[in-house]
Structure 1
């Protein structure tokens, strides 16, 4: 496991502030949004569709604190781009949007470095002000939209109308997820390095952390991962690829079912993972299970560690929350089962206590839990 201390020179122009929102292409945006509202504690945010003058697509945006997901479906039977994407990949993340400063210079640099510009800088306005955008291609069919909303004071973006509160959602226990911690992209074998290089060259991101297959493996499968980050380290994009093992790794299973590179999971940060997971379970969210032997081992290891975990291990065990730590701090994390029928996208809930890693100590336990699910699907 490698943590990188050299961030390289601070970019002279352009700044990535944070994840702005994620856009999902789905078959039925209205129902997908409803699922995230009822099961995951999001609130309806706003809508764009036929009634607002959007003739080709329906957009349903949901929000939880700083996390915004937008679900998009097409109206017309012959809408090619969305339809082909859906047929190939199934429901999944199409676009990872970043809030930026100095959009013009970020785009100029991206062009100079050979980025594929899907849509050059454009502007949208309504009575709440104006927003500037540009969209560039990243791995697979995934895109990044760069957003400058410094002159906008609306609740989301121009053209959207606000939605009323969801009556059912408010009767269910609150979840307290705060912001997007990281977004993980899976690559086909031997494409991780070139993808990481793209983030370095085009977006001026740096390598933040990495592991290889000698560190992350089970009896059956393995992975390699490089985490890319912006200079301020507010945006983290782990890039994974499968490594050869006795059987098919979950990364390869993802690539097979998604039809190439794409977003594998979204990590959502919370200050109170115990409440979040209890209440997500009460709403019917399903999580991967790890065996109780994992906690027997953790109890032994923590006896010899400087780190004191504030949460009761018994409760973490009951909820099947994983623990990873070093001498400075620890993190707690748990992973949902897949969010759709295809074994592709899932979510992570993460709580950090002075620990900036990605749960490398848990990868083996997590992989074994995923392999149990893979075996049920006949894909191991």
Structure 2
């Protein structure tokens, strides 16, 4: 892990997510999927002898689909090791900085400074007018734009790497842990620590398997991905029932939830912003913490390795991450299997 320049150790760094780079084997095809299924629109594109790039945006979220065209391009090397996946989480900061930090696994942090309201661009990647198309990637979104922003990014780490990764963020960016817990699901167990920028513009949920526990979903990701990396991106929405209904109609495939999960949901949550019947119809999970309610659902991974997936999340005051849902869903599946 690179510690970056020593000046970064002097103060905490406020940051927002400028964009998330996904290294992919086919940038145009992947961009078209985000446009058609999630309601993004193409905002920039570029092609050089080294790469093809398409940037898709929706409100404050920009995903950069980057395809290496040479054997030694970083995106080519990344996809050879991991398949398509998040390779860089670019941080928007006040002062331009050419530093690139090696964060975890093969994922980096680059730093971007751009004027407010300026068209999104990077060297070799120019803004695209909203009318028309860029070959197979349509620029305009056919679906309603439900996604507000990136709520958090979930990261899987090898056992023993969690504390070192937390220290890396403290040392280089001055980010601190805002939430932590151990999650036990049957004989499986994982540790979670959430690091966040001081302005809450970037939230990373760091997960590692607990030593000695039965292997679970984190171990499965690490094996299939080939080490630590981004497991899922969580997108905030204003109304999860409307979002899931429309995204599902656009081709996004969500994980189903067994009916047994909802048997005691009213007793667990009390009065809720959604009727239990609505949540059951759309397989939405619900949780409550001391600050409010949280509703979430996960997509089925479309990745050939079954690694990267997405989360749709609505917060009504809640500040935690739905760990009770992991336990309750596990128990619901067990009840269903025994029925």
TM-score (norm 1): 0.78
Deviations 1:64-92 (A, max 9, x none): 1111101011223x335332221110000
CA contact (8 A) 2:121 2:127 kept: no
Report how far residue 24 of structure 1 moved: 0.6
Instruction: Verify: 1:91 aligned to 2:84, yes or no.
Output: yes
Q: Distance in 1 between matches of 2:161 and 2:301?
A: 24
Q: 1:59 aligns with which of 53, 57, 81?
A: 53
Q: 1:40 aligns with which of 38, 41, 55?
A: 38
Q: Distance in 1 between matches of 2:233 and 2:289?
A: 23
CA contact (8 A) 1:175 1:279 kept: no
CA gap 1:275/1:217 in 2 versus in 1, 3 angstroms: same
Q: Partner residue of 2:277?
A: 314
CA contact (8 A) 1:15 1:101 kept: no
Paired residues in the alignment total 321
User: Structure 2 regions of 5+ residues with no counterpart?
Assistant: 1-8, 335-339
Instruction: Verify: 1:149 aligned to 2:142, yes or no.
Output: no
Q: Distance in 2 between matches of 1:79 and 1:12?
A: 35
Write the mapping of 1:196-211 to structure 2, written as runs, cut at 5 A: 196-211=166-181
Report how far residue 242 of structure 1 moved: 1.1
User: Structure 1 regions of 5+ residues with no counterpart?
Assistant: 1-10, 105-120, 122-133, 372-380
CA gap 1:273/1:310 in 2 versus in 1, 3 angstroms: same
Deviations 1:312-356 (A, max 9, x none): 221111101111102431111111111311121111111111111
Report how far residue 370 of structure 1 moved: 10
Q: Distance in 1 between matches of 2:259 and 2:306?
A: 25
CA contact (8 A) 1:177 1:269 kept: yes
CA RMSD of aligned residues (A): 2.4
Q: Distance in 2 between matches of 1:81 and 1:88?
A: 11
Report how far residue 258 of structure 1 moved: 0.9
Q: Partner residue of 2:208?
A: 241
Deviations 1:277-323 (A, max 9, x none): 101110121111221111111112233xxxx3222221111101111
Report how far residue 219 of structure 1 moved: 2.2
Q: Partner residue of 2:146?
A: 176
Q: 1:345 aligns with which of 304, 308, 318?
A: 308
Q: 2:327 aligns with which of 361, 364, 376?
A: 364
TM-score (norm 2): 0.87
CA gap 1:165/1:249 in 2 versus in 1, 3 angstroms: farther
Report how far residue 39 of structure 1 moved: 1.4
Instruction: Verify: 1:277 aligned to 2:244, yes or no.
Output: yes
Instruction: Verify: 1:161 aligned to 2:124, yes or no.
Output: no
Q: Partner residue of 1:256?
A: 223
CA contact (8 A) 2:284 2:297 kept: yes
Report how far residue 363 of structure 1 moved: 1.7
Deviations 1:248-299 (A, max 9, x none): 2110111111111111111101111111110111012111122111111111
Report how far residue 357 of structure 1 moved: 0.6
Q: Partner residue of 1:24?
A: 22
CA contact (8 A) 1:16 1:98 kept: no
CA contact (8 A) 1:141 1:262 kept: yes
Deviations 1:115-171 (A, max 9, x none): xxxxxx2xxxxxxxxxxxx32110111000111113882233354131544787868
Q: Distance in 1 between matches of 2:328 and 2:32?
A: 32
CA gap 1:346/1:369 in 2 versus in 1, 3 angstroms: farther
